[in-house]
Amino acid sequence: MTTMVKPHSWADIDRQALLHNLARVRELAPGKRVCTVIKANAYGHGVHALAETLMPRLGDKDLAAVATLSEALALSETLTTHPILILRGPLDAEEMDLILHKGFHWTLHSVRQADLLKHWLSQNSGKLPALNIWLKLNTGMNRLGLYTSDLQQIWHWLQSLYAPGARVLMSHFATADETGHALAQTQQLNFNQMTASLPGAQNTARSLSASAGIIALPRAHHDIVRPGIMLYGVSPMEGHNGADEGLLPVMSLKSRLLTINQIKAGETVGYGASYQCPEDMPIGVVGIGYGDGYPRHVPSGTPVLIHAAGKVWQAPLAGRVSMDVLTVDLRGIPAQPGDEVLLWGQAWGNTLPAETIALQAGTIAYELFCQITSRVKLFYR
């Protein structure tokens, strides 16, 4: 028999905030088709619940994107109404076969993937299946994407197949999150030049912008925008918070105070004895650590919010984050064991941006979200 126990750490997932952020995408990119990016378990938010929430708000021509075939297969159990794009495309012949049978959209970013398709066609004569191909161009990211000469050849070959299905010309920015970065301009130029060199491509849909492009590069919106992080309420722009772009945090990571210790001046707290109490003071122990996905690398001083005695207090971390707990300086805060603690997100009318914690950890909120572990229970509101 299993008994219900209260989780020590949990995340409230705010469905209304998600829909608000989707509406914000439509405001910033009016009239554009939207490909909602819900890879990596919807950036740690739980892909099925998020797909369920988004589905009724997607337009006829909108889609959802994930990174891999296995993510697409899982998502297709929930998202039955809209096409699913596999950003990484097929890895081998077996994946190619499944993708074509399932009718997924997929990116073709390498000559090898074109060869996989050629091989498939040679093995499967008869009626052509729908080829829902997003041709990914390398415009300067130099990661995944076709170079000009390969693109030309593959384009001509695809045209000659007269296969049914969707075609999209896409690329991805390397630096759109840095305002005014020259490479973002170069990539737009390259994208326009590369696509202009393809005969008959004028009527093919184009997709260039993820969240940063949606926010900062309106001329790069083209036909389909691909928002990821902004759906979750985070700004991809350097030095910005979600609020700066009119976004609301979707995930609020929470825990509780387990215990409060009175520590003497000069004594230290936690592993490595990295924090020394400057005076006799209360130290709160909170039931969350890196085993839940809270980053170990944040230094003492990183803020948490505590709901105590009917008010909200900001407390700084004191000492290293350990696997199951972290410790906070409770001087001047009338906290009690059991009081709730907000690690990032929104609660009790206050916001603690995930961006703030990410900055302290030397990373980005994307990574914080993806690192949330299965010990954190997700509650959908």
Ligand X SMILES: *Cc1c(COP(=O)(O)O)cnc(C)c1O
Region binding ligand X by CB under 6 A among candidate stretches 120-128, 182-190, 208-216, 304-312: 208-216
- The answer to the question of residue 302 lying near ligand X (CB under 6 A) is no
Q: Which of 46, 89, 140, 227 binds ligand X (CB under 6 A)?
A: 227
Catalytic residue among 6, 147, 232, 271: 271
Q: Which of 11, 216, 220, 229 binds ligand X (CB under 6 A)?
A: 229
Nearer Cβ to ligand X, position 58 or 315?
58
Identify whether 271 is a catalytic site residue: yes
Site string for ligand X, 29-48 (x = CB under 6 A): --------x-x---------
Nearer Cβ to ligand X, position 46 or 228?
228
- The answer to the question of residue 236 lying near ligand X (CB under 6 A) is yes
CB atoms within 10 A of CB 263: 19
Catalytic residue among 39, 43, 232, 275: 39
Nearer Cβ to ligand X, position 139 or 211?
211
Nearest-CB residue to ligand X? Answer: 228
Please report how close the Cβ of residue 230 comes to ligand X at its closest, in angstroms.
Answer: 6
Q: Which two tokens stand for residue 81?
A: 């109404």
Site string for ligand X, 134-173 (x = CB under 6 A): --------------------------------------x-
All residues at 6 or more sequence positions from 150 whose CB lies less than 8 Å from its CB, including other chains: 111, 114
Identify whether 39 is a catalytic site residue: yes
Q: Which of 226, 254, 256, 320 binds ligand X (CB under 6 A)?
A: 226
Residue ranges of alpha helices (H) inside 269-361 are: 354-361
Q: How many amino acids of this chain bind ligand X (CB under 6 A)?
A: 13
Please report how close the Cβ of residue 367 comes to ligand X at its closest, in angstroms.
Answer: 12
Nearer Cβ to ligand X, position 145 or 319?
145
Site string for ligand X, 61-100 (x = CB under 6 A): --------------------------x-------------
- The answer to the question of residue 228 lying near ligand X (CB under 6 A) is yes
Residue list 239-298, contact with ligand X (CB under 6 A): none
DSSP-assigned states of every residue in 142-204: -SS-B-HHHHHHHHHHHHHHT--S-EEEE---SSTTSTT-HHHHHHHHHHHHHHHTSTTGGGS
- What contacts 24+ positions apart, CB below 8 Å, involve 98-103? 98/69, 98/73, 99/69, 99/72, 100/129, 100/131, 101/129, 102/72, 102/73, 102/76, 103/129, 103/130, 103/132
All residues at 6 or more sequence positions from 267 whose CB lies less than 8 Å from its CB, including other chains: 276, 277
- What contacts 24+ positions apart, CB below 8 Å, involve 21-25? 21/227, 21/230, 21/231, 21/232, 21/233, 21/247, 21/248, 21/250, 22/54, 22/57, 22/227, 22/231, 24/230, 24/245, 24/246, 24/247, 25/214, 25/225, 25/227, 25/230, 25/231
Region binding ligand X by CB under 6 A among candidate stretches 91-99, 116-124, 207-215, 345-353: 207-215
Nearer Cβ to ligand X, position 44 or 319?
44
| Nearest by Cα to 341 from 8, 4, 5 | 8
- The answer to the question of residue 210 lying near ligand X (CB under 6 A) is yes
Exposed / middle / buried, residue 367 (Cβ in 10 Å: 0-12, 13-18, 19+): middle
Q: Which positions are annotated as active-site residues?
A: 39, 271
Q: Which residues bind ligand X (CB under 6 A)?
A: 37, 39, 87, 172, 210-212, 226-230, 236
